[in-house]
Amino acid sequence: RIWRATVLTLFPEMFPGPLGVSLAGRALASGLWELEARDIRASATDRHRSVDDTPAGGGPGMVLRADVLAAAIDAAGIGPDRPKLLMSPRGRPLTQARVVELAEGPGPLIVCGRFEGVDQRVIDGRGLEEVSIGDYVLSGGEIAALALIDACVRLLPGVMGKEASGTEESFSEGLLEYPQYTRPQLFEGVPIPEILTSGDHAKVAAWRRAESEALTAARRPDLWARIPSKVPSDVPKRR
Ligand code: SAM
């Protein structure tokens, strides 16, 4: 079965958007994955097709109505095997580990919030898993959904060419990636580190590991704390 993302949004015209170009776009065009963007407003029932209302208890902004959103979710006909996600700054932060899981499954339903968010009763009643893409607030869930789908799609079989691989990059081993270099050999007086052009694969691997560890320890102490065998190999002092 083909991996599919079903997106519920008030702005279906935002899809595929940037996912229609490059790696993801070529894969979409060649049928390696599918994208369905469904308009939440199509499930509105009143004369004005309204989808939001003022927050109970007062306060600024509007809230996506539970009845409209629940009807939109039900109309999407999502099987019990597919994860049902709600993009939300209150959600659990998205990790590469969760992305791998989502890419290995049949593909999620993704609800994009707008306004001040969605009525809690639809989150609870439809069992939505809240997912955040970071500790900042976007104006809607669409850009967050695009980010999540992009991260999944590049891991699908056949999407990444040989030139790229999901197994040796940031977070795959709980570490940030080592620095990369390419031609020219000399750029503004700075050469490529000699080891990388030595042809000694073992030395290259050791250098990369040490750089990865140094970067992770310096920039992401939270990740570094989770590495089981912290024997920093020859940590370079650069950072
Ligand atoms: N009032 C909400 C709060 O304080 O948590 C923020 C609502 S935000 C303006 C509107 C919608 O954008 C949210 O319902 C969610 O779908 C999406 N969104 C905003 N920031 C996000 C983030 N960091 N990760 C995932 N989705 C986000």
Q: Is the CB of 189 under 6 A from ligand 1?
A: no
Q: DSSP string spanning 162-206?
A: TT--SSSSTTTTSSPPPP---S-SEETTEEPPGGGGS--HHHHHH
Answer yes or no: do 147 and 202 share one domain: no
- The two tokens of residue 20 are 């229609």
145 domain-assigned: yes
Q: What is the pLDDT of residues 61-92, one digit of tens each?
A: 999 999 999 999 999 999 999 999 999 999 99
Q: How far is the CA of 191 from the centre of ligand 1 (A)?
A: 44
> Where in the sequence is the domain holding 233, given as residue range(s)?
167-239
Answer yes or no: do 9 and 99 share one domain: yes
The neighbour count for residue 91, using CB atoms within 10 Å, is 16
Interatomic CA distance for residues 43 and 69, integer angstroms: 7
pTM: 0.93
Residue of 138, 139, 143 with the most ligand 1 atoms within 8 Å of its CB, for mutation: 138
- For the chain, how many structural domains are there in total? 2
Model confidence at 169, pLDDT cuts 50, 70, 90, reads confident
Q: Is the CB of 122 under 6 A from ligand 1?
A: no
Answer yes or no: do 54 and 30 share one domain: yes
Last residue of a domain, one of 95, 120, 153: 153
Answer yes or no: do 219 and 124 share one domain: no
Q: Which residues make beta-bridge pairs with 187?
A: 190
Q: How far is the CA of 117 from the centre of ligand 1 (A)?
A: 7
Model confidence at 237, pLDDT cuts 50, 70, 90, reads low
162 domain-assigned: no
Answer yes or no: do 12 and 98 share one domain: yes
Nearest atom (ligand 1) to Cα of 131: 25
Q: What is the ipTM of this complex?
A: 0.99
Q: How far is the CA of 87 from the centre of ligand 1 (A)?
A: 7
104 domain-assigned: yes
- State the angle between helix axes of 96-104 and 142-153 in degrees (0 to 180), rounded to the nearest 10: 70
pLDDT of residue 170: 84
Model confidence at 231, pLDDT cuts 50, 70, 90, reads low
Answer yes or no: do 11 and 120 share one domain: yes
∠ CA(25), CA(117), CA(85), 5° rounding? 45
Q: Is the CB of 192 under 6 A from ligand 1?
A: no
What is the arithmetic mean of pLDDT over 158-182?
Answer: 83
Interatomic CA distance for residues 88 and 137, integer angstroms: 9
pLDDT of residue 53: 98
What is the arithmetic mean of pLDDT over 122-147?
Answer: 98
Last residue of a domain, one of 90, 121, 153: 153
Q: How far is the CA of 131 from the centre of ligand 1 (A)?
A: 10
State yes or no: pLDDT of 18 exceeds 80: yes
Answer yes or no: do 7 and 92 share one domain: yes
Q: Where are the alpha helices (DSSP H) in 115-171?
A: 120-125, 142-153
158 domain-assigned: no
State yes or no: pLDDT of 167 exceeds 80: no
Answer yes or no: do 220 and 124 share one domain: no
